[in-house]
Structure 1
Amino acid sequence: MQQVFKGKGRPFRDFLLRHRWDGEPPGTVVGKRLRYLPILVSERQDIFDENCWALRKPFKKTTRVRIDRILYDEKLKARGKNQNYYKTENVPYTLNEIADARLLCKNINGLIFLSREFSEMYPDATFIALIRNGLAICEGHIRRRQATAEEIARRYQAGCDQILHDAENLANYKIIRYEDLISRPQETLTEVFSFARLDIKKLKKVRLEATKIIGANGTHNVFKNKPYKEIIWYDLDKIGNHFVSDANENQIKRLNPEDKKTILYHAGAALQAFGYVR
């Protein structure tokens, strides 16, 4: 979601110093940020800042209209092979089909605090919260030096608290665990489709991407050594072949005792709430 409104690219300062742009073309990023500027000015808050782990103020009516328009426009533009291109294997969507389709958005990190406002904007929206073992999540952030053990543990706890609150107070809100998706992929996907009022019988193939995973020896390789983010199509009863059952275990065992202790101290309540620790 942040990429939709602010673009994918490093700040201008990094671009000038490093003489490179890591993300979308500079013109695209500039265009998105100029389009986002009226929302920033009107709301006096960076609504789509992933690093803001707090509820936003209620949106103004004009902001809701602008957000809705941007989301619709971006849905039509997202025609990449990993976006709204394929309806099923080798069968592309038509533009009219995309225009008529329900909008799907992914809110990660601090953007999960937007659910309340989106529920107000779209009363018939369906919310699916995906939870994963916080010890594995924290290990990834620590390994990439994105945060200290305490920082990421506090964020994990705050995010889980908000998800549990939203599940109790928002309509059409369902929590699923990553671990259940891995161990019971077909059953879990069927539950998600049913909850979203979609007919899974119309699904001919499932499209997944080849992403990087941590192996038992600590190496970080792309799934089955395929090109990164290559599209892979599966029959519904074969999607379990895509998942690595010991991914959590491989990451958690890489945590040093001090970091693990810190995570359990600051995020223990969330880990216990979702059955990851007793």
Structure 2
Amino acid sequence: MPRYEVREIIGRLGVVGKLIRKGFGLSPVIGPILRARFKSVAYDLKIACLEDEDQGQAAPDRRYRQEEIEETVVCLKSLMDDVALSSFIAATYAQCHFIGLVRNGFAFCDGVVRRGGSAEDAARLYSRTVNQILSQAETCEHFDVIRFEDVLEDPFAVSEKLFRFLGLEPSTLEHLRLKAKGKRGASGDYGVGFGEVDRHYWFDREEIVRALDPRIDKRQADCLSLSDRRTFGRIAELELARFGYLE
């Protein structure tokens, strides 16, 4: 990964980024120039990971070599509205594979409300994003959709599934790397599950079970008020039902 999300990479591009946002990245006239600029910056950011203490690790006991990281494919992360940029990404890179990650909408709503947003806004954003993912899954040549809850239940099984989807050999996958993030505690408080926020840590098949919290979605959903839960469920009912999130 180039360390930064798609929105952050575009933000670094100034006027070029603004043109991409306006849809000119697919223009037959200036599109190739905009795509080349995005691709160049993403590549430079990927190579810069060599000098990053956290991002430069290829394995728990080994760092990337220059020639090794040069040969890796670019892995980009798009959140929410940036999912709409998939056509631009597909035009920028040959042989694109897209992975849509969906999680329980009520847990997502808790995160939005906790940051000061409304349940209604959260529901409309969730509904719009899920429908974009489902639409792209039907129209894109290489697109797979997974549930966040399935990752928590058996991360190595999901990883092996994705490796097969990407045409890679999963048998060498002995460790997974997780990013430390804030989460709801058992009493509803908010803190860090492990390590230092925004740093990555390696886990083997046994350790990762202790690092992941399979009840995190329920804990977040339970923090919603009854009013917010009803509002979110009413607006995003179809999308919640599609992935089995309606009780």
Structure 1 position 61, deviation (Å): 1.8
Query: Superposed, which structure 2 residues align to 1:78-117 within 5 Å?
Result: 78-79=49-50, 80-83=52-55, 85-117=56-88
Q: Does 1:58 align with 2:42?
A: no
Which of 70, 73, 91 pairs up with 2:44? 73
TM-score after normalising by structure 2: 0.89
Alignment of structure 1 residues 149-160 onto 2, 5 Å = 149-160=119-130
Indicate yes or no: 2:164 matched with 1:194.
Answer: yes
1:148-187 correspondence runs (5 A): 148-187=118-157
Alignment CA distance shift 1:219-1:114 (3 Å): same
In 1, Cα distance between equivalents of 2:169 and 2:244: 30
Question: Structure 2 unaligned runs (5+)?
Answer: 1-5
2:16 pairs with 1:38 = yes
Classify the secondary structure of the residue corresponding to 1:115: helix
Aligned match for 1:241, one of 188, 210, 225? 210
Deviation at 1:107, TM superposition (A): 0.4
- Kindly report structure 1 stretches of 4+ aligned residues shifted beyond 3 Å: none
Whole-angstrom distance in 2 between the partners of 1:129 and 1:112: 9
In structure 2, the CA distance between the partners of 1:252 and 1:38, relative to structure 1 (3 Å rule), is: closer
What is the number of equivalent residue pairs in this alignment? 238
Instruction: Give the partner amino acid of 1:118.
Output: I
Superimposed CA distance per residue, residues 118-154 of structure 1 (whole angstroms, 9 cap, x where no aligned partner): 2233241111111000010011110111x21111110
Deviation digits for residues 140-170 of structure 1, max 9, x if unmatched? 110111x211111101000000000000000
- The offset of 1:237, in angstroms, is 5.0
Aligned mate of 1:3, from 2, 8, 17:
8
Contact persistence 1:113–1:162 (CA under 8 A): yes
Among 212, 215, 219, which residue is 2:185 paired with? 215
CA deviations over 1:212-264 (Å, ceiling 9, x no partner): 2101201112114x332343322235422221011011111111111111101
**What code does the residue aligned with 2:54 have?**
N
Residue 16 of structure 1 aligns with which residue? none
Partners of 1:113 and 1:239 in 2: CA distance: 32
Give the partner amino acid of 1:236: R
SS in 1 for 2:236: helix
**Equivalent residue, structure 2, for 1:259:** 228
- 1:203 to partner: Cα distance: 2.5
Paired residue type of 2:98:
F
Which AA in structure 2 matches 1:264?
G
**Are the counterparts in 1 of residues 25 and 34 from structure 2 also a CA contact under 8 Å?**
no
Change (3 A) 1:56 1:70: same
TM-score, structure 1 normalization: 0.79
* Shift in CA distance, 261/229, structure 1 to aligned 2, threshold 3 Å: same
Separation of aligned partners in 2, 1:237 and 1:172: 31
Q: CA RMSD in A?
A: 1.9
Percent identity over the alignment is 26
CA contact (8 A) 2:152 2:214 kept: yes
Unaligned runs of 5+ in 1: 7-31, 48-54
Structure 2 counterpart of 1:126: 97
